[in-house]
């Protein structure tokens, strides 16, 4: 595979949690490929492209290293890209899973 849709790649690389979220992010104008704003989720990316993603209050610079046929584990996702700014906040795949605490506390 020499190229892949930006929404599929963002989802496979675990930049976002859902495919529909990846498509919405791409069409919202918060994604750039090699400095060019992405207007459609069908925009293709190739190995070596630099993807800029604005998430929340941070901007991520990510280099495309490869593609996947389907979404795999976080370890598989790490092989698809290289974070170019090591001081940047973590992507979704790098966040620890937290068990929810009891929502209600009784006050005595």
Residue 25 to residue 29: CA distance in whole angstroms: 7
Helix (H) or strand (E) run with residue 37 in it = strand 36-37
Summarize pLDDT for 76-97 with one digit per residue, the tens. Answer: 999 999 998 766 666 665 555 5
Instruction: State the Cα–Cα distance between residues 83 and 4, nearest whole angstrom.
Output: 19
**Does a structural domain hold residue 102?**
no
Residue 100 lies in a domain: no
Count of structural domains, the chain: 1
Domain membership of residue 79 (yes or no) is yes
Domain that holds residue 58: 3-94
The size of the chain, in residues, is 108
Q: Can you give the pLDDT at residue 100?
A: 47
- What lies within 8 Å, CB to CB, of 41 at 6+ separation is 5, 6, 7, 22, 23, 26, 27
Q: What is the pLDDT of residues 4-60, one digit of tens each?
A: 999 999 999 999 999 999 999 999 999 999 999 999 999 999 999 999 999 888 888
The CATH number covering residue 9 comes to 3.10.290.10
Does 16 map to a domain? yes
């Amino acid at each position: 595979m020499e190229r892949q849709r930006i929404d599929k790649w963002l989802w496979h690389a675990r930049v976002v949690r859902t495919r529909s979220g990846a498509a919405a992010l791409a069409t919202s104008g918060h994604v750039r490929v090699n400095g060019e704003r992405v207007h459609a989720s069908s925009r293709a990316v190739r190995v070596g492209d630099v993807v800029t993603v604005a998430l929340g209050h941070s901007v991520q610079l990510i280099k495309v290293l490869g593609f996947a046929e389907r979404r795999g584990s976080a370890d598989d996702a790490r092989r698809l890209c290289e974070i170019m700014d090591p001081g940047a906040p973590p992507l979704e795949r790098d966040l620890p899973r937290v068990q929810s605490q009891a929502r209600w506390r009784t006050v005595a």
